[in-house]
């Protein structure tokens, strides 16, 4: 029997690692894992508890894809957050657009500088 126990990481394709880090590390406060080996292309590993987001600076096979405006109708990564209002304030201050969840939950969707959709769900 196969037993999957947790998600280890999700990978996101970015055009510029520095620009992506300004969003993920600078705005969202994620910590960079310095254990990333030289993989032959730029990128970064970001820690979220024991899980990670891997930023991959590689060619994007979806570069010409038209993504839905609302991130909830697109492939996305969902992250929990303890205080949604603090994120709303940070996004507003940075001029980053977002949409509130259409489910009625305390959640929102936004996109990173490369158009990758992210969902943030408030959980105490």
Partner residues linked to 10 by β-bridges: 53
Local confidence pLDDT in tens for the 124 residues of the chain:
898 889 999 999 999 999 999 999 999 999 999 999 999 999 999 999 999 999 999 998 887 888 888 888 899 999 999 999 999 999 999 999 999 998 889 999 999 999 999 999 999 7
Q: Which fold has domain 1-58?
A: 2,3-Dihydroxybiphenyl 1,2-Dioxygenase; domain 1 (3.10.180)
Can you name the CATH fold of 69-124?
2,3-Dihydroxybiphenyl 1,2-Dioxygenase; domain 1 (3.10.180)
Q: Please, are residues 94 and 110 in contact by the beta-carbon 8 Å criterion? A: no
How does DSSP classify residue 26? I
Strand order of the sheet with strand 9-13? 9-13, 51-56, 43-48, 31-32
Q: What is the pTM of this model?
A: 0.91
Where are the domains positioned within the chain?
1-58, 69-124
């Amino acid at each position: 029997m196969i037993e999957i126990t947790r998600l280890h990481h999700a990978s996101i394709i970015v055009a510029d690692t520095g620009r992506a880090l300004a969003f993920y590390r600078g705005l969202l406060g994620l910590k960079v894992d310095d254990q990333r080996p030289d993989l032959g292309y730029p990128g970064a590993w970001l820690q979220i508890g024991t899980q990670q987001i891997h930023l991959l600076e590689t060619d994007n096979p979806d570069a010409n894809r038209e993504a839905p405006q609302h991130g909830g109708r697109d492939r996305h990564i969902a992250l929990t957050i303890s205080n949604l209002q603090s994120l709303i304030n940070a996004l507003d201050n940075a001029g980053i657009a977002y949409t509130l969840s259409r489910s009625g939950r305390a959640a929102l969707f936004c996109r990173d500088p490369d158009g990758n959709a992210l969902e943030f769900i408030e959980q105490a």
